[in-house]
Amino acid sequence: MDYQVQTQQPMPGGMNWAPVPLAPMPSYSPALAYLATVDQLVVEQKKELVEIVLGYESANKYEVKNSQGQTIFMALEDSDCCSRNLCGNLRPLDIKIIDCNQTEVMKLVRPLACQGCCFPCCLQTMDVECPPGTVVGRIEQQWSILTPKFDIKNEAGETVLKIKGPIFQCNFCGDVEFEILSVDGDTQVGKISKQWAGLLKEMFTDAEHFGINFPLDLDVKVKATLLGALFLIDFLYFEFNK
């Protein structure tokens, strides 16, 4: 399906926003039409000076960009101060995803849960709502001792893709790749990559850079769910106070 685009749009924060699609998708905000036109995204965490200097864990903020470096969405963590500084990377939270008009177009909902091979009955989940209030997908962590594993599910609760990570998720070892696999686990259809940002930045901040690749013709709801999986992977394996 072809989508017309609007070349003039609000530019909050002076960022280089991508043109706004004019043709809406059924049941979704027009902004989510972006996902139908891309096969890769770049996610950059924005870090504040007070957090770097004092080690205070503030709510995370991210820019979601296309391959041309244009901003598609901003992603804003919604959680309370106590959860961020006491529960750390296991904290319950919502992530509100907004477009260039500062309209909330998608929401990621993560409840509080344990993590690790000692708690196979209490693993991580995240619901993907777009528009907010309508669940279109879910990410479920699978019990695994050695490698991170996740199921990507559609709105009917059916597994449509799987994600498998490496045994070691080392921040200081270069890029870390999580494979996006077919349901049978035999075919790689994409990947989520945590990208090396340099030694000093890796040592003293938990600001992250991620890339995600998926088939261009993949259902937009599954693309949205994979984007949610990227944020969940960030919190589970790369979010910690340095």
Type of residue at 7 = T
Does residue 134 or residue 9 have the better pLDDT?
134
Distance, in Å, from the CA atom of 46 to the CA atom of 48, rounded to the nearest integer, reads 7
Is 80 exceeded by the pLDDT of residue 61? yes
Residue 26 sits in a domain of what CATH number?
A: 3.20.90
pLDDT at 15: 77
Is 50 exceeded by the pLDDT of residue 242? no
Residue 41, domain extent: 5-237
pLDDT tens across 107-149, in order? 999 988 766 555 666 788 999 998 888 999 999 999 888 899 9
Lowest-pLDDT choice from 106-115, 174-183, 199-208: 199-208
Nearest Cα to 6, choosing from 26, 33, 39, 46? 33
Q: Mean pLDDT over all residues of the chain?
A: 81
pLDDT at 14: 65
pLDDT at 6: 46
Work out the pLDDT band at 24, boundaries 50, 70, 90: low
* Structural domain contains residue 102: yes
pTM of the model: 0.84
Nearest Cα to 138, choosing from 119, 116, 159? 159
The number of distinct structural domains making up the chain is: 1
Is 50 exceeded by the pLDDT of residue 161? yes
Tokens 């479920």 found at:
140
* Structural domain contains residue 224: yes
Is 70 exceeded by the pLDDT of residue 199? no
* Structural domain contains residue 242: no
* Structural domain contains residue 42: yes
DSSP the chain: ----EES----GGG--BPPEE-SPPTTS-GGGGGGGG-SEEEEEEE--HHHHHH---PPPEEEEE-TTS-EEEEEEEE--HHIIIIIGGG--EEEEEE-TT--EEEEEEE-----STT-TTS--EEEEESSTT-EEEEEEEEP-SSS-EEEEEETTS-EEEEEE--S---TTSS-EEEEEE-TTS--EEEEEEEPP--HHHHHH----EEEEE--TTS-HHHHHHHHHHHHHHHHHHT----
